[in-house]
Structure 1
């Protein structure tokens, strides 16, 4: 059902754009008014999402573009690779698409990241639009212009900063999300409290039951506030030269989990959830936060249906394996692992920590 859309603006000068949030937006033609005119558009989706929503998006775009092509990629993090990325270029080249062709990313974070990277690369840059269909992509990956693919040795290590023309967050599509995927998205919602807004964290504690029940007003507030916080950070630091790195709270540990287990075994949000617990515990052992804060975070993550312990990646030396994988993280400098830690509730800092202390945290938080 179409509802009054809310908007959040990303202020990046000439690259500024709007995030529109509400129900019924995906199939509403007015959601796409003001986008660049072109003779052709390409809808990139996956085999799970396309049967549900591609026809509705195509209908909404009819009249704006004389030719609308569609590509379905295989579903899953394990397919976020060079080989699958080439399929997007294949369609664009086979159809003779020019540099005004608009790409529409219809799906979750994998589809959005790959479509954005293809848009950044094809003819050195064509317009694209994010139409995220998972909670995780609506509150995080579709916003801010990070695009890319995975490498066997590291997650998102190959990519580009490239901003979309618009982000269309239709809350109604979240009704078709599997429970596990919905919970994974809540991890990215939860992270915004400890790094930027403890009032939001307090609200999440009060509202988690409503969110788990997909209550529409709670969902709208969670998505909007998450986008507002990310928009403010990206507006100040588009290319992650400093401040933007705080958005990766839990991600250094989480990316190690994803790579160590094999992409797709743990969902991204599940890795982030366990990673936030480890990062919070590391913050506590460094004397930055108290045990009460860590317990509150663990409780909220558990209520969201997410893991609060990391997996064992190596039966013989688990901590060493984590450290090895984390040294390949994008925030590492000269081989020194940089962690997003909670300096005080609502404020994050990026800093290193002794390997011995990190190992103790890993041993305490994995099973």
Structure 2
């Protein structure tokens, strides 16, 4: 499998990125002032535009008509928009391809080992491996006639330790006319040796008003639908689109209705809800709904001083923490037992632990 994924056309200009004015201004200044660093780390919550900004940056570095932004019309901009520019390389977490023999040696260098990998649908299920890093190094050694070679490593926190170590020398001293951009929503999982070799740019959650405007303008949502999704999205465009366009708001209402009615000390109902959650196919989505509801309700309670029968700020915040920790435990790399984790979480929410 190649390094570049062929997908739908992406927006490839800085002006198309929602928010992050200060961060984009700094990147533009680096390009126009010829002060581009050799390695960057784009860090921030999922769905806030880090990857799109990385591609806009890569396009700007290769655009023949660049002034303050990529022109969007030259051959380089056209090929970048189709994710087929030879100077722009994207790497992502991979899993072992289904139906093919597993390799016991992640460090194999032959083509057969590479063919056994496929892109992970969810980054947390995959890893960025030594063989992929070796492909990056080979690509960076190739001479180019114009522009800059740009490597975008999506979900860089999924680099294996061996892959990170193999990458350190290149991060510190990449070949001429090359830039490496690491993108992550989990900066704490990256080794300090990697962090110290990158210039960090933080991407904060986007304002709900900006997200709501996007949903109405670009996705045809009503003002009420857009505001509801934006409020629940936690500053993530991707999350807001899923909520508004994928039926998630209706699913959320069904889950939240049950938790809002849970009484403190009700062990029977807590265990019943734990069993129901355990059987859910989309358990992680349900826990995200519950966590978001507890957080927003806690914040509203703190601001208004009215608990609306939900038990006050302290209980709400303890419940939020219980859900957050349970979600962390059942997802990679921990993979805790679902039933035990849900039972412990529900007992904490009911005030019984």
Normalised by the length of structure 1, the TM-score is 0.32
Normalised by the length of structure 2, the TM-score is 0.33
Which structure's CA Rg is the greater one? 2
Between Structure 1 and Structure 2, the one with more strand by share is 1
Q: Which has the higher contact order (CA 8 A, sep 6+)?
A: 2
